[in-house]
Amino acid sequence: MRRDVIEAFDKSQAELGDLNGVRERMLRGGYAGRTIRLDKALHLAAGIAAILIAALVIGTFAYIRAVARPNPAGGFHVPATTPLILLHDPATVGQIDGIAWDGRSTRRVGDGGVDGGTSNPAGTLYATGTDIRDRTGKVVGPLANTPPKTARVAWADDEIHYCQVVPAMYGGRGPRNAILQLVAPGGNASNIASIGTYGPTQNTPVPTVAACSVENDRAVVSEATVSPGFSVRDWVVQLSTGRILWTHTIKLPGSPAGVGIVATHDGQFVAQSIFSPTSANATIYGPDGLAIAHVAGWVDAFSWDGSLAVTSPSATSPVSLVRWQDGTVVWTGQAGLPFRTARSEPGGTRIAIGLIANMSADPTVAPTINLYVVSADGRLVWSKNNVNLA
């Protein structure tokens, strides 16, 4: 299981130029441009016009700066619908910072960030160890009381809800039926369907939510069983009714080095990857559960529209961004840097790919993560070293 860690993030502030004294400079310029030989009426009219024009431009600049400039006390003067990538602050433990998808830096979002916490796709909400907070750091509701309580929620694509898997009943020992739930911050959890087995042990791990799509009315849940034998099962569930749209189980001989399930945000495409010590391969399933493509490599993540996949061909091969339908490689990461995490731009085509730059032999020492934001045509939009996504 992957673990998120708090890493350093070089904060920067993209602001407009210095506007100190601009009012006086523009007024002086307006007056200087007048013709001194005009009669008094024209002289006065030109002066008034110059003052009004200067005041209008100054007011426009002031408005632009108020919109573009972050609030030093936290939060952003940007439209609430503007997606942001949230990151842990390097200098202050628990502080969450944000950065726009085009690379324009922003300041502090809020506090309460914890190891393993996640943000929704647009970065408008994020989870702490106990609650859900908005972009200003305000608490909008507690985390649902699940045993154990976790900040790693599976956010929905409506930017409000999240999915989680809980045991069918509390108390007792041994495996129990698992329940898929849909939760809104501050509201009650809704039971959707009985999915898999809740047995938090090595042989019966807790089922994982790979996608939670309120917009497309479906969720993707997967479960791996280590003993007896190694098998992987995944389900696609209709959120509104709890109906299983499709499911399949794959039994594998022996014990592979790794297996993983990832899906597009809307649950339309599901990739099942098998990793051996020397190679990896993946099968991509379509909306009806039928296999539609095979990929030479482990599929780590999808772009928002599902056309691109982040892949790791092997343990030693560079991470790539691939048009999986035809196999075209559009971007290749630096050799020797394995995949760690990814975010897809909501409603856009860019994808943020986090690669491990340095992994310590000491498990208590956090790895160093480099973040690369790549466009659909393979252009590197921007990159930043020593970060940890929230």
Specify if 9 maps to a domain.
Answer: no
pLDDT value at residue 276: 72
Specify if 26 maps to a domain.
Answer: yes
Closest C-alpha to 150, from 116, 196, 195: 116
pLDDT value at residue 204: 65
Specify if 246 maps to a domain.
Answer: no
Specify if 34 maps to a domain.
Answer: yes
pLDDT by residue, tens only, the chain of 390 residues? 333 333 332 333 333 222 233 222 332 333 333 333 334 333 333 343 443 334 433 343 333 333 333 343 444 566 767 899 998 887 787 888 889 999 987 778 888 887 767 899 999 999 888 889 998 889 999 887 655 555 568 999 999 999 998 887 655 555 678 899 999 988 888 999 999 887 766 566 778 999 999 999 999 999 887 766 678 889 999 999 999 999 988 877 666 567 889 999 999 999 999 877 677 889 999 999 999 999 999 999 999 999 999 999 877 889 999 999 999 999 999 999 999 999 999 999 999 999 998 887 887 666 788 999 999 999 999 999 988 887
Specify if 306 maps to a domain.
Answer: no
Q: What's the Cα-to-Cα distance from 153 to each of 46, 150, 160, rounded to whole Å?
A: 63, 7, 12
Specify if 283 maps to a domain.
Answer: no
Helix axes 40-68, 22-32, angle to 10 degrees: 150
Q: What does the alpha-carbon distance between residue 53 and residue 23 come to, in Å, rounded to a whole number? A: 11
- Decide: 9 and 390 in contact? Cβ < 8 Å: no
Q: What's the Cα-to-Cα distance from 273 to each of 103, 200, 254, 301, rounded to whole Å?
A: 32, 22, 16, 11
Q: What does the alpha-carbon distance between residue 128 and residue 188 come to, in Å, rounded to a whole number? A: 18
Q: What's the Cα-to-Cα distance from 77 to each of 64, 80, 82, 171, rounded to whole Å?
A: 10, 9, 10, 47
3-class DSSP state of 47: helix
Residue 58: domain span: 22-68
Element holding 23 (H helix, E strand): helix 22-32
Q: What does the alpha-carbon distance between residue 340 and residue 61 come to, in Å, rounded to a whole number? A: 41
What global pTM score does this model have?
0.77
Specify if 57 maps to a domain.
Answer: yes
Q: Which residues lie closer than 8 Å to 200 by C-beta, 6 or more apart? A: 206
Which tokens hold the place of 377? 């045509």
Q: How many structural domains compose the chain? A: 1
Radius of gyration of the chain (CA): 26
Specify if 285 maps to a domain.
Answer: no
Which tokens hold the place of 186? 């501050």
Q: What does the alpha-carbon distance between residue 211 and residue 219 come to, in Å, rounded to a whole number? A: 5
- Decide: 381 and 373 in contact? Cβ < 8 Å: yes
pLDDT value at residue 263: 98
